[in-house]
Structure 1
Amino acid sequence: MTDIVTRYLDTWNTTGEELTDLLAEHWSDDCVYVDPLAEVQGREAVGATIRAVHAQFPGFVFTQVGEVDAHHQQARFQWGLGPAGEEPLIIGFDVVVVDADQRIRDVRGFLDKVPA
């Protein structure tokens, strides 16, 4: 599951045509992504959400914070978002569920630390 979290974060750190490729390779056709600011279904909608985050936070990167906790077909982990090489300004907590082909099917996200 650590590899799946890595692929998940790679997807969130990617823009352009490569984003479409990563979504097609690592996310299921009917994937769902839900957090306090978005609720979308399908790769195209997830891609639009990722592009919107990049537009709002240009130059910021997602990093893994701490260890991945996993069992069965799901993993939970904390992530940070901020300028590359710096302390994250935003910290969140996601639960990722994969399908039988180990592709991301469902993501439930929470925001733990958000600047005022």
Structure 2
Amino acid sequence: MTDTTAIVDRYIDMWNETDDGRRRAIISRTWTDEASYRDPMMSGDGPDGIDAMVRGVQERFPGYRFRRVGAIDQVGDALRFSWQLAPEAGDALAGGTDFGVLAADGRFRAMTGFLDQAPAA
């Protein structure tokens, strides 16, 4: 059985990891090779696409960090959790709810993000 807290927290760690090698290691432990991510502002397919997407967010919002907010809900292979993007000390710039689908090996095979609060374009 998948430890849902561990995989979601690893997912959040991925967004915050600025070292390329460590981030790629997190991606390989968290996502399948065929995984996809989609939200209203961006998308990424496979480890390379997901890594490029994360780097782009980090470049756009240097010094900001993601954090999980609240509990994780799970039904079968589907997960739901909320998050915020904020500076270390400050109000959230963005926030939303992500819906993930787990593969049989416990890694994410798909993630769809919905933005509840988005930064200005």
Gaps of 5+ in 1: none
Gaps of 5+ in 2: none
**Partner deviation per Cα, 1:15-55 (whole Å, 9 max, x = no partner):** 22111111112210000000001122111000000000000
Task: State the match for 2:7 in structure 1.
Answer: 4
**Displacement of 1:86:** 2.6
Task: State the match for 1:42 in structure 2.
Answer: 46
Opposite residue 105 of structure 2, the aligned amino acid is: D
Supply the distance in 2 between the matched residues of 1:114 and 1:103 (Cα, whole angstroms): 27
Contact 2:85 2:94 in 1 (8 A): yes
The ranges of structure 1 where at least 4 consecutive aligned residues each deviate by more than 6 angstroms after the TM superposition are none
Task: State the match for 1:14 in structure 2.
Answer: 17
**Partner deviation per Cα, 1:31-85 (whole Å, 9 max, x = no partner):** 0000001122111000000000000000100001111111111110110001014
Give the superposed CA RMSD: 1.1
Supply the distance in 1 between the matched residues of 2:89 and 2:11 (Cα, whole angstroms): 19
Map 1:36-75 onto structure 2 (within 5 A). 36-75=40-79
TM-score normalised by structure 2 residue count: 0.90
